[in-house]
Structure formats: structure tokens, C-alpha cells
Amino acid sequence: MLREPARLIAYRRLLLDVALTTGSFLLAHQLRSHVLPRVWPELFPGGLYPLADYLPLLAVVLPLWMLLLAAHRLAAPGEVLSLRREAFKEMRVALLGVLVIAAAGYLLRLEFISRPFLLLFGVINGVVLAAARIFERRTALGRKLAEAPERVVVVVGCGDEAVAVAHQVTAHRAWGLRLLGLVDADGCASPQTGGFPLVGGVADLFERLAREVVDEVVLAVPTRQLGELEPVLLRCQELGVRVRVALRPFPHLRPHVEVEALNGIPLLTFATSPIAPFALFVKRVVDVAFAAAALLLLAPLWLVIAAAVRLGSRGPVLYRQVRCGLHGRRFVLLKFRTMVENADRMRAEVEHLNVMDGPVFKAPADPRVTGVGRLLRRASLDELPQLVNVLRGDMALVGPRPPIPEEVEQYEPWQRRRLAMKPGITCLWQISGRSNLDFATWMELDLAYIDHWSLWLDTKIMALTVPAVFSGRGAA
């Protein structure tokens, strides 16, 4: 019910954002080329390259901006962001996009890209996009342009579920939804309507469908009662009126829900991890691009670390260990070896040094760790080979850390849900203290990551991982 008007509004915004971003780009070019050299000639002695040379950059900026805007605007159907949050999201997109372009320009040695131009473009574009959202919310013309076409809705039912649906419909008038009223499907003497108008019973509904404008009918009744309302579905199908069913067969569950079809068979999906194919696709693209670039750029560092590990102690350069990935799938995790050879066989001898509760083992004073290994662990450089796991698809850059099978066997049922998302190199646990946290807090942080996952959350975790690694806080 809410996705279609949301998509329509999103398409309108897309066209508007393309125009505003193009205008911001051209204005920034003109300011840098003609205005700033006149106002501050000592700071900006010359103009930019001709606009024709910048048009290929604009061709890169527009799809990148649209991708970032689409990722930042992903939300559950029916979720309405506050004006402040939405405006700040638009400004973050401009900042993030400028940082991406600046980094690409530096790495690719694109000398024609002016840093003052990028700064001007980012500021102008961020302000303009935020102003557009404010215009949509705070002005009559903006609200009119942002509204979806009107759709009149009738809710069948008089219980708590029907009243909850009616509240949602009236809360989304900007999306074109208008509630005509509730229909008493039970013939109750005193139906509960929550203050919403009661437009009669099922028989009255048939008459209203024939003589009034009704675009959609929502059946919000107990699951056991749905079979009794088949005549309503048949009449609506006959008249071309769309019917929706408010399903909450398990009222105590709060999962991600999606309805899809398997060769014509409707399937109601209850998932404990995000159902966002496009956002997850973007996440995978970023994982592959970042991992490939990092492996290439850090190749000299790999050689230095490999030589240090090899010379520091006997044994292979890489340490391989079986870990549990998505939904318990097992894979071989790669790390630079930081312990003496055959350290796994000596685990029982150092068990008393464990500082973690629960099934995990962390020992900051572990005597099995080599001198080189201690340095690698402190800087988290031993994790670099996991970029190969990311390329293989076993892991992501951000996600719960992959446990060993023996730990998973000791999990409580609620803790196994952390396996519902692909494991990663860094996550909330890594930036919150690592070994300084107890096991229960670690699990809760992983579940909080899954429940609140977004591309923006991944971006923040990646940004906070850098200072966490340099500080060495909680490293073991």
C-alpha cells in the first residue's frame, strides 16, 4: 500500500535531484572559474579548465549521486523520517559523494579536478538538496508537488488491528491515502472504531463499492476470519477494486516481512535479517571494489608482513581456521599467523588466561603469540588476508565476526541469530572496545547491527574502525 506512492514520489525526486545536482555542479564551476579569482585573486589566481573538460566528471557525478541518494533513502515501507533527519541525510550524501570523487581524483591522478571546486559543489549541492526537502514539507506548493494521486481506502474490521491500519492510513495523507471509514465485519453491537467513522457492515460495503469511489479495501480481521470474507474479495475482483490483507498471524514476532510468489504460490516471508535486495547488492559491490583495491594497493605491505612472519618463527605465513558464516555455512578464514606453530594444540595449557566470559577465548597475555604477531595484532594487520575471504563472498567488510564451530555449539538460541547476516572484518564490537566487553554485550551489539542495518551504518562503522585500530583499544 505504501510502496507504490513512495516509488512515485521517489521518481519525482530523482528527476528533481538530477536537475538540482546538475545546477549545483554548473554553479560551482562558474563560481570557481569567474567569481573567486576576482574576489580573492591571491588565493585563486587562475580559472578552472573549460566547462567542456568537466562534463565527463558530471557524467560520473550524476549516477554516483543517484546511487548514494537511493541508498540513503532506503527505509521500511510506511516509515516517515523527521524533516531534520531527512535534510541531514541529503547533506551527508553530498559530503560523501565529494569525498569519493576527491579520493578517486587523488588515486587516479586527475589533476584537472580542483579541490576548491569540489568543496563548493559539495556545500552548494548539500544545501540545495536539503532546501528542496524543506520546501516539500513546509510549503503548500511543495506538499502539492510531493503528493501522490489520491486513493480512497476502506478498512474491513473493527478490532485493534483495523484501528491500527486506519491510523497508518490517516498518517500518510501526503502519500495520497484517504480513509473513507471502517466496515463492521462481525455485526458487533458496539464495534471498536477508535474514533474513525463506521460506514456499515459487509452488505453496505457492496453498495458503496458500486456507487462511491473506493480504490482499495484492506481486510484487517483475525486470521481465522479471513475465509468468511471470500465474498468481499470476489466482489472487489469483479469491480476492479484492489484488496489488501493485514496479516499478523504471529503478533509477538517483529521480523522483517515480505510477500513474494513462487511460480504463482504466494509466500509470506518472515526474516530476522534485512530484506533489502538493492541495498545488499550495493553493499556487495562496495565490498568487492574495496577489497580488490586494498589487495592491490597493500601488496607491498603484504610482502613485508609475510617476510616478518616467516623470519620471526617457524611455520606457515598464513593461518587457516574453519569459521561459521551466513546461517552457519563453514568456510576457511585466512589470517597472518601470529602464534607459534601448532598453537591450537596448546589451547588447554593457556585456558586459565582467558579474560572473556562465554564460549569465546581471548587472552591478552597469551604466551603462544610471537613478537611479530603481537605487533600485527595491535595494529589489526593480521586481519588483512580476510580481504580474500571478502572477495570470495564468505565475508563482508562490515558484519558480525565469524565464530568457530565450537563456539556456535555453545550459543544460546537467541545468540544464533547473529549468524543471520554475513560475517565481516569489522562491526560494532570492534569499535566499542573488543576484548574490553563481555560476551553478552558483544552478542547484543551484533544483533543491534542486524536489526538496524543500513548502508549508512556500514559507512559509519568503517570510518570509526580506523581510529579504533590505531588506538589499539581492546586488541588481543
> Which pLDDT score is estimated for 76?
43
Segments in 256-298 forming alpha helices (H): 277-297
Residue identified by cell 566528471 is 57
Provide the whole-model pTM: 0.60
> Which pLDDT score is estimated for 239?
85
Alpha-carbon distance 395 to 197, whole Å? 53
Angle at which helix 277-297 crosses helix 455-471, to 10 degrees, equals 30
- C-alpha cell belonging to residue 29: 564551476
Helix, strand, coil share of the chain (percent; to 5): 55, 15, 30
Residue 15: how many other CB atoms lie within 10 Å: 9
Backbone angles phi, psi at 335, to 5 degrees: -145, 160
Read off the DSSP letter of residue 403: P
> Which pLDDT score is estimated for 174?
67
> Which pLDDT score is estimated for 394?
94
How far is Cα of residue 334 from the mean position of the Cα atoms in its chain? 27
> Which pLDDT score is estimated for 191?
66
* Low-confidence stretches of the chain (pLDDT beneath 50): 75-78
Give the gyration radius of the chain's Cα atoms. Answer: 28
> Which pLDDT score is estimated for 472?
59
> Which pLDDT score is estimated for 273?
74
Contact between 435 and 338 under an 8 Å Cβ cutoff? The reply is no
